Amino acid sequence: MRTSIIGYPRIGGNRELKFSIENYFKGNISARELLVTAKQLRSARFEKQKKSAIDFIPVGDFSLYDGALDTAVTLGVIPKRYRDLTLDGLDAYFAMAKGYQGAAGDVKALSMRKWFNTNYHYIVPEIEDDTVIAFRGSALFDEFSEAKDAGIIAKPVLMGPLTFLKLAKYENKQASDFVKQITIAYAEIIARLESLGAEWAQFDEPILVTDLTTSDISMFKRIYSDLLKRKGNVKVLLQTFFGDIRDAYEDVIALPFDGVGLDFVEGKETLSLVERYGFPSDKTLFAGVINGKNIWRDDYAKTLNLLNAVGRKADNIVISTSCSLLHVPYTVSVESKLPENAKNAFAFAEEKLTELAELSKLADDSDYAASEVFKANQARRQSIKQGADLSVQARVHGLKAGDYTRSPERKKRFDIQKSVLNLPLLPTTTIGSFPQTDEVRANRAKFRKGEITKERYDERLQALTADVVKLQEEIGLDALVHGEFERNDMVEYFGENLNGFLFTQSAWVQSYGTRCVKPPIIFSDISRRAPITVKISKYAQSVASKPMKGMLTGPITILNWSFPREDVSDKEQATQIALAIRDEALDLESAGIRIIQIDEAALREKLPLRKADWRSEYLEWAIPAFRLTHSGVKPETQIHTHMCYSEFQDIIHEIDAMDADVITFEASRSSLAILTAIKESGFETAVGPGVYDIHSARVPSEDEIVAAIKAILEIVPAEKAWINPDCGLKTRGATETALSLKNLVAAAKRVRSGKI
């Protein structure tokens, strides 16, 4: 069997591309130097893939910033405000990616959105009413030739036309208005590829795994029935991933594609679709069987069984990854600090190439069970000890329905808390973090490198905390925070303080453009070693005259921003984390903290792609896990939660069912849709919709904030409204933060006194 990958990481094993791009922005290196680095990275990728004997090696999956942006450029989808800058080459490209401020003009970047159910973010193409979609040339062809020079006839990869049209933003027109133009443009791309000697072209159409309407399907058929007539001698591979294509499968196999890529890992129904409707013998099935998102070694016995089942229905099979390997780090081999036991359990991108190569041989071997490679894989998997913690497991399994419910009910708690906390009407607060100044970072860095003792570190941390408490008191905020100066990242910090997590040195994954994240790995049962935040919160409260908020990260966010285990369910892992956070909340309460905020910044982003699965596969356990974190606290302890977005109108009842007393969320950049939903759903949780945008250095005026508060009060009763910024302030400068918060407090006071 031959092997294929859908795409490969591109940022560089040591994040060379990131640093090179950043250096280019700073003016430290020239465009040429940046392009040389990019070329070296591509050639290293070719070498790795060639060495692993991958048969279908992709080109076009590389990008200097983002694949959706590259596709937009290829199709001439460049909004007028960027064309008007009349910049050249790379600068024109990066203006769309990052915004531009300089001699040529002043424009913001195109917006960014989460790429399906991953933590990657793509640049959203903007199609204006007078946009003409047409083929404008592409770096793809140079990359194809580059591969050819390396002795590879590569498989060019491009975002497919349907996915492109569906993900784009429009003015008055809509996707269907551009079907003709885009089809012609793709036909020209294929023709050019043919002239260069390409045998295959891969069109990525992940949109096919989402809920499709009949008009989406008819658009799909229109585009491809036309395009496939013009494909000449190039074979077209329709590549899907992140799920199954149940809404389109029959139409897909009826069209004259030469290859169809299906995801057998995340696609729950993929195998049954193939079994039910068959797979035409004149097509090649690119079977996505190696998980492109996880970091665990494959179980060959399981995968070979699956391939066997697929083989009963399909004659021509190519073994593939389930999605692009963009979503996993480069290689385990450089991790020198992981325990050997764990290292053996992991496969990142490079190791997955080896797995594909090994599987392709085993799949052709009628007696594979006798082969050394197969035996080694099975032995290796069996040798992994993931460290069961029986007391944690017993605690999870001993949970009763009542453990998830806080009493008394929220309405009663509201009155109790009101009298105990003694907060004014429209209380003001912040989301938790304060600017991470050089001093704040230096203190952590010195301690990490062993340059200062724990005592010295704590002393400094307390001094910094005391300063930020004093600042908040001077500004006149009502519910204070300690500033989070001990945290580098809201998930990593808790992971490092919990049993069960592992940390890598270089396992970076691209999140967008030049930004990478290094997610913790959940390896075994999770428990809290000792109180985590109690000392600093208690200290902060001791130097404050107003209530201090304890600050915790919620279980769903910790889980979603980590690489999870696969030997136990997500529900089990979330529940274990929830119990650890619950212990922390109870300890904070005993230490005299009267408000506890449990952030769930990433709750919404793991909603399954198909709406029908939202509740049964996710919310049904995610919401209870959150409830478990706070159901043990006293009625007078006020529980807050925070979300960095406001598009939760579709799950508004579930958000209310988290049973927090207060929720703060991003609102300044979004429409009032969420406030309307809050009103219409009879939302019980008190709300703090952000009154200014923290993503910009701009200082909002008092008048602006008064206007934002008034807009909130049109919909939310004053006794249930909080006044706060959109999100944490850690990325902001100290000066603008103080000025903004002063205006926020002044605005709240003005509204309270009725002088508006």
Q: What's the closest the beta carbon of residue 706 comes to Zn ion, in angstroms?
A: 23
We find the least distance from the C-beta atom of residue 549 to Zn ion, in angstroms, to be: 14
Q: Which of 642, 656, 667, 716 binds ligand GLN (CB under 6 A)?
A: 642
Closest CA to 155 of 207, 195, 187, 193: 193
Pairing of strands 200-204, 155-159: parallel
Burial 708-732 (b: 16+ CB within 10 A, else e): bbeebeebbeeebbbbbbbbbbbeb
* Cα-based distances in Å from 201 to 184, 190, 226, 454, 753: 16, 7, 16, 57, 66
519 lines the binding site for ligand GLN (CB under 6 A): no
Nearer residue to ligand GLN within complex by CB, 131 or 533: 533
| Residue closer to Zn ion, measured from CB, 287 or 694 | 694
- The residue from 552, 644, 674, 738 that contacts Zn ion (CB under 5 A) is 644
162 binds, among Zn ion, ligand GLN, none (CB under 5 to 8 A by kind): none
Residue 730 contact among ligand GLN, Zn ion, none, beta carbon within 5 to 8 Å by kind:
ligand GLN
Q: Chain-centre distance of CA 541, in angstroms?
A: 34
Q: Which part of the chain contacts Zn ion (CB under 5 A), choosing from 53-61, 384-392, 626-634, 643-651?
A: 643-651
Stretch that binds ligand GLN, among 51-59, 94-102, 244-252, 727-735 (CB under 6 A): 727-735
Q: Which stretch binds ligand GLN (CB under 6 A): 418-426, 429-437, 451-459, 572-580?
A: 429-437
Smallest separation (angstroms) from Zn ion to the CB of 505: 28
List binders of ligand GLN among 563-602 (CB under 6 A).
599, 601
Given a contact cutoff of 8 angstroms between Cβ atoms, the answer to whether 405 and 658 are in contact is no
310 touches, from ligand GLN, Zn ion, none (C-beta below 5 to 8 Å by class)? none
Is the Cβ of residue 82 or residue 120 nearer to ligand GLN in the bound state? Answer: 120
* Contact present, 221 and 176 (Cβ < 8 Å): no
Among 475, 727, 747, 751, binds ligand GLN (CB under 6 A): 727
Residue 158 or 663: the one with the smaller Cβ distance to Zn ion is 663
The answer to the question of residue 433 lying near ligand GLN (CB under 6 A) is: yes
**Does 598 contact Zn ion by CB under 5 A?**
no
Of the pair 601, 658, the CB lying nearest ligand GLN is at: 601
**SS3 category, 185:** helix
Q: Which stretch binds ligand GLN (CB under 6 A): 203-211, 293-301, 449-457, 726-734?
A: 726-734
| Alpha-carbon torsion (537, 430, 98, 563), positive or negative | positive
The catalytically annotated residue of 482, 630, 640, 695 is 695
Site string for ligand GLN, 728-747 (x = CB under 6 A): x-x-----------------
Nearer to Zn ion, 6 or 727 (CB): 727
Residue 70 — φ and ψ, nearest 5°? -60, -40
What is the tally of helices (H) and strands (E) in the chain? Answer: 29, 23
Comparison of 431 and 751: residue with beta carbon closer to ligand GLN: 431
Strands 235-239 and 259-263: parallel
How many residues comprise the chain? 756
CA distance 330 to 565: 19
Q: List Cβ neighbours of 295 (8 Å cut-off, separation of 6 or more).
A: 328, 329, 346, 347, 348, 507, 521, 563
**Structure tokens of 182?**
């885009």
Tokens 């599987």, residue located: 359
Nearest CB to Zn ion, comparing residues 631 and 646 = 646
Torsion of CA 85, 87, 92, 94, to 10 degrees: -90
Closest CA to 561 of 626, 491, 615, 631: 491
CA distance 481 to 244: 45
**The one segment of 189-197, 219-227, 510-518, 723-731 that binds ligand GLN by CB under 6 A:** 723-731
Report the distance separating Cα 603 and Cα 618, nearest Å.
Answer: 10
Q: 3-class SS at 321?
A: strand
Single out the segment in contact with ligand GLN by CB under 6 A; choices: 134-142, 382-390, 427-435, 671-679: 427-435
Using CB under 5 A, which of 727, 738, 745, 748 touches Zn ion?
727
255 Cβ neighbours under 8 A, 6+ residues apart: 221, 224, 225, 228, 238
Q: Which is nearer to ligand GLN, 120 or 203 (CB)?
A: 120
- Binding of ligand GLN by 110 (CB under 6 A): no
Q: Which is nearer to ligand GLN, 8 or 665 (CB)?
A: 665
Interface residue with ligand GLN, options 540, 619, 644, 745 (CB under 6 A):
644
Query: Which residue of the chain is nearest ligand GLN when measured via CB?
Result: 728
* 525 close to 388: Cβ distance less than 8 angstroms: yes
Query: Residue 47 CA to chain centroid, in angstroms?
Result: 29
- Write the binding mask 375 to 414 for ligand GLN: x where contact by CB under 6 A, - elsewhere: ----------------------------------------
Q: Tell me which stretch binds Zn ion (CB under 5 A): 205-213, 395-403, 719-727, 734-742.
A: 719-727
SS (HEC) of 655-715: HHHCCCCEEEECCCCCCCHHHHHHHHCCCCCEEEECCCCCCCCCCCCHHHHHHHHHHHHCC
Segment contacting Zn ion by CB under 5 A, of 5-13, 407-415, 606-614, 641-649? 641-649
- # binding residues, Zn ion (CB under 5 A): 2
515-517 and 509-512 strand pairing? antiparallel
Cβ of residue 699: shortest distance to ligand GLN, in angstroms? 19
Number of residues that bind ligand GLN (CB under 6 A): 13
Helix axes 89-98, 31-51, angle to 10 degrees: 80
> Is 397 a residue of the active site?
no
Q: Smallest distance, Å, CB 431 to Zn ion?
A: 6
Handedness of CA 686, 692, 693, 697 (dihedral sign): negative
Does 432 participate in binding ligand GLN (rule CB under 6 A)?
Answer: yes
As measured in angstroms, the least distance from the Cβ of 725 to Zn ion is 9
Contacts with ligand GLN, 529-568, as mask; x by CB under 6 A:
----------------------x-----------------
The binding track of 387-416 with respect to Zn ion, each residue x by CB under 5 A or -, is ------------------------------
Give 290 or 727: the residue with its C-beta nearer to Zn ion: 727
Q: Which does 432 bind (CB under 5 to 8 A by kind): ligand GLN, Zn ion, none?
A: ligand GLN
Closest CA to 353 of 737, 9, 672, 709: 9
Q: Which residues bind ligand GLN (CB under 6 A)?
A: 431-433, 484, 490, 551, 599, 601, 642, 644, 727-728, 730
**Residues at the interface with Zn ion (CB under 5 A):** 644, 727
Among all residues, which ones are annotated catalytic?
A: 695
